[in-house]
Structure 1
Amino acid sequence: MKNLDAEMIVLNKAFASKEEAIRFCGQKLVEAGCVDADYVEAMVQRDQILSVYMGNFIAIPHGTDAAKDHVKKSGICVVQVPDGVDFGDGHDEKVATVLFGIAGVGDDHLQLIQKIALYCSDVDNVVILADALTKDEITGSLAIA
């Protein structure tokens, strides 16, 4: 993962539900040739098993371990959701304003999650991503790809 492709960055999206948001991220990965369509279902399942919400207004939709066979190449998409999307379970609100859809071959999967979590542990970095007006602002500030 050297560069984050501008086509994998989406600004100003809105979603009616977390499942819609997860499916959108999955579709971006499918379109980029990173995964096949079955991986998208595994992304939805992953959130049902354990929330992909990571705190600090971010979520990292990704597939289950069993879905590794559906990953063709490592990839990441960044989706900005200014109004947020609730990843809570109905009992508590977990609003994400930045989504990182990921798929990783081998150990890339875990490394991507760790890099994103570390980067986003500084809420100032999340604010930069959430407030970005251009894709260049995101690629310029994002030090994980």
Structure 2
Amino acid sequence: MPFIQTEMIRLNQTFATTEEAITAAGAVLQDAGCVTPEYVEAMHERQAIANVYIGNYVAIPHGTEAAKSAVQKTGISFLQVPDGVDFGGQTAKLVIGIAGVNDEHLELLSQIAILCSDESNVERLVQAKTKEEILALFMEEVA
């Protein structure tokens, strides 16, 4: 998965609210040049429409269809939240922000869902001590 890079991975994050977690995931995408500030706003809009929590301690914040023009390049932000953060009554320990050019976000969602459908993979990602461990697991699982 070429869209995830070590500089877009954050370990041991702590968030008090869903909003803080989404803002942080969006900020990583924005800092990497993947999205404009409008996309980060659209990530919050998406959460207001439908919870982006997918199960197995994983949330995948992403923008609305209307925000497609705010995506400059495809990318993934990965936030490890060992103590968890509430997403609509569910606890997320992994917050994976995505932005995709055209329909690339659908492929990203699919690959992340496959990786995170295995609870042992999620546990390994939550327990990872280095960004390289996280990157290696993504590469191993979706290659």
Q: When the two structures are superposed, what TM-score results if normalisation uses the length of structure 2?
A: 0.95
Query: In structure 2, what is the equivalent of residue 134 of structure 1?
Result: 130
Shift of 1:4: 2.2
Q: Which residue of 2 aligns with 1:66?
A: 66
1:17, 1:85 within 8 Å by CA — same for their partners in 2?
yes
Residue 119 of structure 2 aligns with which residue?
A: 123
Structure 2 CA distance, aligned partners of 1:128 and 1:35?
A: 28
Unaligned runs of 5+ in 1: none
Specify the SS of the correspondent of 1:100.
strand
Whether contact under 8 Å (2:3, 2:74) holds in the other structure is: no
Could you give the per-residue CA deviations for residues 27-79 of structure 1, whole angstroms, max 9, x where no partner exists?
A: 10000000000100000000000000000000001000110010000000110
Deviation at 1:107, TM superposition (A): 1.3
**Secondary structure of the corresponding residue to residue 132 of structure 2:** helix
User: How many angstroms does 1:144 deviate by?
Assistant: 3.9
Q: Deviations over 1:98-121 (max 9, x none)?
A: 111000001101111111011101
Aligned length: 141
Q: Which runs of 4+ in 1 moved over 4 A?
A: none
Q: Is the 8 A contact 1:112 1:144 kept in 2?
A: no
1:99 match: secondary structure? strand
Distance 1:36 1:81, change over 3 A: same
What TM-score, normalized to structure 1? 0.94
Identity over aligned residues, as a percent? 53
Residue of structure 2 equivalent to 1:33:
33
Name the one with the larger helix percent.
2
RMSD: 1.2
